[in-house]
Amino acid sequence: MTTSNPPSAVPVSDYDPFTTEALADPIRYDGELREYASVVHLAKYDVYAVTRQSELRRVGRDRKKFSSKSRAFADPSPFKPPLMLMQDPPEHTAIKKLALELFSKESLRTLDATFHDEAERLVSGVMTEDSVELDAVASIGTAFITKVFLDALGAPEEGRELLKHFADAALNSTAPKNDLYFRKHAIGAPALEWVERNTQRETAGRRGWGKQVYTMVDEGRLSEEDGQQLVKLIFAAGFDTTIGSIVNSIRAFADNPDQWALLKANPALLDDAIEEVLRYYPPVRYTGRVAAVESEVDGFLVPEGAPVMMMWLSGGRDPSFWENPDVFDIRRENVAGHMTFGVGIHSCLGQHIARMETRAVLTAMLAHVETLEPTAPPEVADNMQGFGFTKVPVRFFSADKH
């Protein structure tokens, strides 16, 4: 005979993930929430946070019980188009299939070569002396992504510096409407105007992914409006996040010189190293779902209609899945098990691009940087949905003879 206990009510917490304290150290505070329970009702916002690795995987894969048509804190925002992210099949399937055409094997090969050339130019250009002090955010992450990502999109050169404010507002828009939300939206307003202009056919349709998208529109496979939304979504989703994965790599290696020495000695570990950085410092802290029906998760009853927070950052540090989760270890066995790109049908459209960009920069660094070290504490970004840094002061010691 098998017996099973009836599901119990979801434990309640007064934790607020958006206080200044929580935003300064989400690894600690979201971690405390995870240790409290696998599913927690956050009373202040009436949302349900899924905190642990196996429950995140289960909920993320169960698109029928956990829909994306509505998401925790996902009110309409001009910075975050609802296309794809807030669709269920069959609409989601159709648009994602088209969007994936932008990243065919052949086009990825061409882009990869460009990424490596640009990374080599950037890093060798920085390493002009035996040791160089720099801010990894401005001098490496932002410089590189502003060039290669916006070239790939087909964006004009003029005004590119605005995009960081657009991306920052986008990563603060699926979040409660607090002071930070309004501040980021105000700072992002001029950038929004620039993005609106540069997602239109007249400008975006000339080159790169923008041109490919508007060709689909011309072929009658995509509506004009969806075409524009798709270009805007790529602007919103692929900029700050990839600056993040590059900068976070530099931060992790600067703090863990033994791991950099290991990678230098064995560059075949590079792909694993990138996965470990993504787990350890994920650029996206959470996304969302809505419970389409009443559902049991880990013995807890999530009510129908409940807005759900998918706490990806917390899952990456879950000790019930990862051994020594707070240790940065590029040789860990299950290194590819993280869900930093989400899981299920909504898993990240641009993940190959993100990995390629990070790989290109780290490859150039392996060639030119012997060792690296932090020179001052990093500044954590005040970002609600994202996780990253606004400043990462480091010193690179050159591998080249000057």
> Rounded to the nearest 5°, which phi and psi values hold at 362?
-65, -35
Q: Which of the residues 60 through 99 are near ligand HEM (CB under 6 A)?
A: 84-85, 96
Question: Degrees (nearest 5) of the Cα angle 171, 383, 353?
Answer: 50
Contact 74, 181 (CB under 8 A): no
Applying CB under 6 A, which part among 41-49, 213-221, 266-274, 341-349 lies near ligand HEM? 341-349
Q: From the CB of 118, what's the least distance to ligand HEM, in Å?
A: 15
Cβ proximity to ligand HEM, 86 vs 127, nearer residue: 86
Spell 31-51 as b/e; 16+ CB within 10 A means b. Answer: bebbeebbbbbbeebebbbbb
Residue 59 within binding range of ligand HEM, rule CB under 6 A: no
Residue 316 within binding range of ligand HEM, rule CB under 6 A: no
Q: Which of the residues 194 through 223 are near ligand HEM (CB under 6 A)?
A: none
Q: Which of the residues 353 through 382 are near ligand HEM (CB under 6 A)?
A: 353-354
Name the DSSP class of 10: P
Q: From the CB of 385, what's the least distance to ligand HEM, in Å?
A: 10
Applying CB under 6 A, which part among 16-24, 187-195, 254-262, 343-351 lies near ligand HEM? 343-351
Cβ proximity to ligand HEM, 380 vs 399, nearer residue: 380
Q: Which of 350, 359, 388, 398 binds ligand HEM (CB under 6 A)?
A: 350
Q: From the CB of 209, what's the least distance to ligand HEM, in Å?
A: 8
- Alpha helices (H) along 219-304: 224-238, 240-255, 257-265, 270-280
Cβ proximity to ligand HEM, 116 vs 264, nearer residue: 116
Residue 336 in tokens? 């590819």
Comparing CA positions, the residue from 102, 111, 170 lying closest to residue 350 is 102
> Rounded to the nearest 5°, which phi and psi values hold at 395?
-120, 130
Residue 237 within binding range of ligand HEM, rule CB under 6 A: yes
Q: Which residues pair with 133 in a beta bridge?
A: 395
Element (H, E) at 80: none
Q: What residues line the site for ligand HEM (CB under 6 A)? A: 84-85, 96, 233-234, 237-238, 241-242, 245, 282-284, 287, 312, 340-342, 346-350, 353-354
